[in-house]
Amino acid sequence: MIAVKGYAAQNAKTPLAPFSFERRTPGANDVLIDILYCGVCHSDIHQARDEWGGSIFPMVPGHEIVGRVAQVGSGVKNFKVGDLAGVGCLVDSCRTCPSCQQNLEQFCEVHSVGTYNSLEMDRKTPTYGGYSNKIVVDERFTLKVSDKLKLDEVAPLLCAGITTYSPLRHWKVGKGQKVAVVGLGGLGHMGVKFAAAFGAEVTVLSTSSAKEKDARRLGAHHFINTNNADEVKKARGRFDFILNTVSAQHDYNFLLNMAKLDGTMVLVGVPPEAVPVHAFSLIGGRKSLAGSLIGGLKETQEMLDFCAAHNITSDVEVIAIKDIESAYARMIKGDVRYRFVIDMATL
Ligand code: NAP
Ligand code: ZN
Ligand code: ZN
C-alpha cells in the first residue's frame, strides 16, 4: 500500500482537517501521480457537508487534479515517469455497457466510480480525492496534460472545464447564437470562455454587479444583474441557450422567461433542494429544460487539447490547504474569482 497525506471531512459538521490514509499499490495498468494542484469545486462543499445526502465519511474531496507521474505499472502504455497527468471526476466504470462504449463513462449503466465520495467497482473500497499528495488511477481514467499551460490554471479544467465544454458542444452552441451563462463562479467563468471561443454572443447573468468588468474580460459581450428588474425585463425571450451553473436555490421559471422560441436551458448547477418548474414556463415558446453531467474521458481529453491549442485556462486564486474552510465560506457568498486551487506543496 502507498501512504498518503491529505485533508478530510470526518462528518458533515466539522471542518476539514489533516488525515493520513493508504491507497492501493499500483497495479499493472495504474499510474501513481504526485499531486501538485487540486481545484476546489462547489460539489466538494455540497458533498463534504452532505447537502445532497448519502455522503461517505471520512471524505477527502477534490476532483480537479493535476500532477506528475511518479510510477507506472508494467502494462501502462500512454504514460511514463515524469509526465504531467490529470484526473477529473471519474476513476473507473464498467467499461463495457452501451454508455461506456460511447465514451460516456459518466453515464455508466452499471456503476461509475467517482474520484471521491464513491465506492470502487468492488462496491466496498471508498475512493479518496485530490486534497492529498498522491493518487493511484488506471491509465484509462488518466488525462494527458500539456506542458504549455500553467498547471495551477489547468486543474479546474478537469471538472469546471469539462462540465461547461460538454453541454456547449452537445447542444452545438456557436456562431449566430445568443447564449446566457448564469452564475459567474468556477463553472460559469469557464462557460463564458468556451461559449465565446465557439463564436456565440455571450451574456452573463449574475447576482454580483461587481463582476461585470471581469465578465467582459473573460469574453462576455453583455452583463445582466439578475437583481435589476429593468435589465431582466429587457432580456425576455432573448437567448437560444442558457447554461445554468447556480449552486443554490433560485427560480428556474424566471430564467426560462429569458429563453427564446425553441430555446434550451441546461442545468449543470445542482441546488440541494428540488426547484419547482411551471408548465407555462416551457409550453409558451416550446422551450426545453435539460441537464448535463461532467463529460466522458474522451471528451475531457478533447477539451484539454482544445484549451492547449487556444490558450484557455481557468482564472485561479491559489491557496494553502489550511485555508480550505475560508475558501468554502467565500464560495458560498459568491466571492470567488474564479476558482480556488490548492497548492499541494502546502500540505
Ligand atoms: P461556484 O464557483 O461557487 O459558483 C456558483 C455561482 O452561482 C456563484 O459564484 C454565484 O454567481 C451564483 N450563485 C450562488 N448562489 C446563488 C443564489 N442564491 N442565487 C443566484 N446565484 C447564485 O460553484 P461551481 O463550482 O461553479 O459549481 C456550481 C454548481 O455546479 C454547484 O451546484 C456544483 O455542485 C455544480 N456542479 C455540477 C457539475 C455537473 O456535472 N453537472 C459539475 C461540477 C459542479 P454570481 O455571483 O455571478 O451570481
Ligand atoms: Zn466538480
Ligand atoms: Zn459502463
Q: Which three cell numbers stand for residue 167?
A: 453541454
Q: CB neighbours of 309 closer than 8 A, spacing ≥ 6? A: none
CA dist 163 and 188 (Å) reads: 10
Tell me the β-bridge partners of 317.
Answer: 340
* Residues whose Cβ atom is located within 5 A of ion ligand 2: 41, 43, 159
CA dist 158 and 155 (Å) reads: 6
CA dist 185 and 258 (Å) reads: 20
| pLDDT computed for residue 216 by the predictor | 98
Q: Which atom of ligand 1 is nearest to the CA of 334?
A: 9
Q: Which ligand gives the minimal distance to the CA of 94?
A: 3
**Count of residues making up the chain:** 347
| pLDDT computed for residue 236 by the predictor | 97
Q: Which atom of ligand 1 is nearest to the CA of 250?
A: 19
Instruction: Tally DSSP H helices, then E strands, for the chain.
Output: 11, 17
Quick one: fold of 161-291? Rossmann fold (3.40.50)
Q: Which ligand gives the minimal distance to the CA of 89?
A: 2
CA dist 218 and 210 (Å) reads: 14
Each residue's pLDDT tens digit, 70-86: 999 999 999 999 999 99
SS3 state at 176 = coil
* Residues whose Cβ atom is located within 5 A of ion ligand 3: 93-94, 97, 100, 108, 110
| pLDDT computed for residue 87 by the predictor | 99
| pLDDT computed for residue 30 by the predictor | 98
Yes or no: say if 22 and 1 are a contact pair by the CB < 8 Å rule.
Answer: yes
The residue whose CA has the least distance to atom 34 of ligand 1 is: 43
Crossing angle of helices 160-170 and 297-310, rounded to 10°: 100
Q: Which atom of ligand 1 is nearest to the CA of 267?
A: 41
The residue whose CA has the least distance to atom 1 of ligand 1 is: 185
pTM above 0.95, yes or no: yes
Query: Residues with beta carbon inside 6 Å of ligand 1?
Result: 41-43, 46, 159-160, 163, 183-188, 206-208, 211, 245-248, 250, 268-270, 292-294, 331, 334, 336
DSSP states of 17-52? EEEEEEEPPP-TTEEEEEEEEEE--HHHHHHHTTSS
- Which of the 8 DSSP states describes residue 327? H
Among 86, 87, 133, 94, which residue's Cα sits nearest to residue 113?
A: 94
| pLDDT computed for residue 159 by the predictor | 99
| pLDDT computed for residue 23 by the predictor | 98
Among 157, 42, 212, 196, which residue's Cα sits nearest to residue 204?
A: 212
Residue 125 CB neighbour total at 10 angstroms: 13
Among 223, 224, 226, 218, which residue's Cα sits nearest to residue 248?
A: 226
- Which of the 8 DSSP states describes residue 262? E
279: region left, alpha or beta (phi > 0 left; psi from -120 to 50 alpha): alpha
pLDDT along the chain (347 residues), means of 10: 98 98 98 99 98 98 98 98 98 98 98 98 98 98 97 99 99 98 98 98 97 98 96 96 98 98 98 97 97 98 98 98 98 97 98
Strands (E), the chain: 2-8, 17-23, 30-39, 65-72, 84-87, 90-92, 113-114, 134-138, 143-144, 178-182, 201-206, 222-225, 239-244, 259-267, 288-291, 316-319, 339-343
Give domain limits for the chain. 2-159+315-346, 161-291
Residue 122 CA, ligand 3 centroid: distance in Å: 14
Our mutation pick for probing the ligand 1 site, out of 166, 181, 187, counting the most ligand atoms within 8 A of Cβ, is: 187
Tell me which CATH homologous superfamily contains domain 2-159+315-346. Medium-chain alcohol dehydrogenases, catalytic domain (3.90.180.10)
Our mutation pick for probing the ligand 1 site, out of 117, 182, 246, counting the most ligand atoms within 8 A of Cβ, is: 246
What are the backbone dihedrals phi and psi of residue 265, each rounded to the nearest 5 degrees, phi first?
A: -110, 125
Q: Which three cell numbers stand for residue 24?
A: 492501493
Q: Which ligand gives the minimal distance to the CA of 271?
A: 1
Yes or no: say if 228 and 205 are a contact pair by the CB < 8 Å rule.
Answer: no
